């Protein structure tokens, strides 16, 4: 399928054929492709939990309120945000970027670019993603609003703002995964109806992790899998040419 065909094929499927199994390696590869999704500052503050064990899948379905989208699923993937790993991610990116600059940048520009990466991933990212009982977010807001008086600057720097950014990035990975699955002829359904506390406990996640969404996987069970034709708001209601 070409991209347009893939996008038209992809539907939120809520009933899967129990007789049709998924190739676990293909699903895993689709998760790998999800890591290519664009994300804020390339921090990649995400993890992906691929549920293939039937007993664990049954538990997950119960925590997803026993919806048919999970109770009939062959597999599932839980997309998780890991804001708590910001220091490690920033450090890993900085190590990579230094070597990347040495390999690919002109010699006369290397030192300047390395210093820029050191500032960004060594100082700015830890400051932006750091948390201290909400106080760092307040400090960031005060600094930014003072600067904003004199020039344009990003103003969404509170702890709540940063959380939204991390979840948006994870959502892009989830969408990339679903498109990759559709390209394989596999179906998915993104879910937000779940008990996040119990799902976190099931996966053994630390306090700093959050569930972004649960995506059930399978192959649609004929016409039971989708609810008829797909509704979309008329394009002229959402499109604005500026």
CA distance 232 to 218: 24
122-133: average pLDDT:
91
In a domain, 233, yes or no: no
In a domain, 179, yes or no: yes
Give me the CATH number covering residue 187. Answer: 3.40.109.10
Q: Report the pLDDT value the prediction gives residue 131, as an integer from 0 to 100.
A: 86
In a domain, 107, yes or no: no
Residue 222 has pLDDT above 90, yes or no: no
Q: What is the extent of the structural domain holding 213?
A: 3-84+167-218
Tell me what percent of the residues of the chain surpass a pLDDT of 70: 100
In a domain, 223, yes or no: no
For 96-121, the pLDDT digits (tens) are 999 999 999 999 999 999 999 999 99
For 42-52, the pLDDT digits (tens) are 999 999 999 99
Locate 89 and state its tokens: 């991610």
For 5-63, the pLDDT digits (tens) are 999 999 999 999 999 999 999 999 999 999 999 999 999 999 999 999 999 999 999 99
Residue 133 has pLDDT above 80, yes or no: no
For 135-156, the pLDDT digits (tens) are 888 999 999 999 999 999 999 8
Q: Report the pLDDT value the prediction gives residue 228, as an integer from 0 to 100.
A: 86
In a domain, 65, yes or no: yes
In a domain, 195, yes or no: yes
Angle at CA of residue 89, ends 48 and 83, nearest 5°: 60
Domain count, the chain: 1
CA distance 167 to 66: 25
In a domain, 79, yes or no: yes
In a domain, 138, yes or no: no
Q: Is the pTM of this model over 0.75?
A: yes
CA distance 49 to 209: 12
Residue 189 has pLDDT above 80, yes or no: yes
Average per-residue pLDDT for the chain: 96
Q: Report the pLDDT value the prediction gives residue 136, as an integer from 0 to 100.
A: 87
């Amino acid at each position: 399928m070409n991209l347009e065909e893939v996008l038209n094929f992809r539907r939120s499927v809520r009933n899967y054929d129990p007789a049709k199994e998924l190739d676990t390696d293909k699903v895993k590869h689709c998760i790998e492709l999800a890591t290519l999704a664009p994300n804020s500052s390339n921090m990649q503050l995400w993890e992906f939990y691929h549920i293939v064990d039937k007993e664990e899948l049954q538990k997950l379905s119960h925590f997803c309120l026993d919806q048919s989208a999970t109770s009939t699923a062959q597999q599932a993937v839980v997309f998780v945000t890991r804001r708590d790993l910001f220091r490690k991610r920033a450090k890993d990116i900085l190590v990579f970027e230094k070597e990347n600059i040495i390999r690919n940048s002109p010699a006369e520009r290397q030192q300047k670019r390395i210093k820029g990466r050191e500032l960004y991933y060594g100082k700015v990212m830890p400051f932006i993603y750091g948390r201290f009982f909400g106080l760092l977010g307040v400090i960031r807001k005060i600094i930014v609003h003072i600067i904003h008086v004199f020039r344009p600057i990003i103003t969404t720097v509170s702890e709540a703002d940063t959380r939204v950014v991390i979840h948006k990035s994870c959502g892009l990975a989830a969408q990339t995964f679903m498109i990759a699955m559709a390209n394989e002829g596999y179906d998915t359904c993104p879910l937000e109806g779940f008990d996040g506390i119990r799902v976190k406990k099931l996966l053994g996640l630390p306090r700093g992790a959050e569930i972004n969404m649960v995506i059930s996987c399978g192959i649609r069970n004929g016409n039971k899998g989708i609810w008829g034709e797909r509704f979309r708001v008329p394009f002229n209601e959402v499109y604005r040419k500026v």
